[in-house]
Amino acid sequence: MVCSNGDRKMLYVADLNMRMEGFPKIGAPTILISRGDKRVIWWLSPSTTTYSQTRMPDGMERAFNPDTLYDWTEDGMETIGGRRCRRFVGRYTEARGPIGDAHEVCFVDATTGMRRRSYSYDVNGKLVATIDYLNAKVGPPALQVFEMPEGYKRSYNRRKRVVC
């Protein structure tokens, strides 16, 4: 995936497990591994071979399934990257606070059924992110992509006490 800010990402999904590798234009690469089956989320820093860990809150596994976050309606056809795509508009299914005109627009290749592009709009209806899906492989990823790589050490954020 390529984001509108120039960052590149690779995404792997299988059942309740997700891995996202981020390659920002500025800064160091990062890896996020979410294990719904183990109820844990790991943030890895390949540059320091360290990771932090947190417990996955109940219901968070739904966050990786856009079908559970949005009510989708088909809204015509458009050409994206030379491919005919079905256009879908997704409105949030659960309002938490004022969501205004926040929504997603997703373009799905009419032949392959794969996402080609998505737009995210904020509560004022302003476009805040564009993601282009450059390529995809259909089928389950290798299970080891959801495991903690060898050699990583846990880092702990210790809060400093500030006395004024």
CA nearest 153: which of 43, 51, 45, 44? 51
CA nearest 2: which of 138, 137, 134? 134
99 and 57 in a single domain? The answer is: no
Residue that has been written with the tokens 């879908």 in this structure: 88
50 and 105 in a single domain? The answer is: no
CATH number at residue 116: 2.50.20.10
51 and 75 in a single domain? The answer is: no
Question: pLDDT at position 101, please?
Answer: 74
Question: pLDDT at position 33, please?
Answer: 92
Question: pLDDT at position 66, please?
Answer: 55
132 and 69 in a single domain? The answer is: yes
Question: pLDDT at position 25, please?
Answer: 85
With a CB cutoff of 8 Å and minimum separation 6, the contacts of 157 are 52
Residue that has been written with the tokens 């860990």 in this structure: 53
Q: What is the mean pLDDT of each run of 10 residues along the chain (164 residues)?
A: 81 83 88 88 92 80 59 90 91 64 87 86 87 78 91 74 39
Amino acid (one-letter) located at 76: G
The token pair at 134 is: 């450059």
Number of domains in the chain: 2
Task: Give the residue numbers spanning the domain of 19.
Answer: 1-64
Question: pLDDT at position 20, please?
Answer: 87
72 and 59 in a single domain? The answer is: no
121 and 96 in a single domain? The answer is: yes
**pTM for this predicted structure:** 0.65
92 and 124 in a single domain? The answer is: yes
Question: pLDDT at position 65, please?
Answer: 57
57 and 37 in a single domain? The answer is: yes
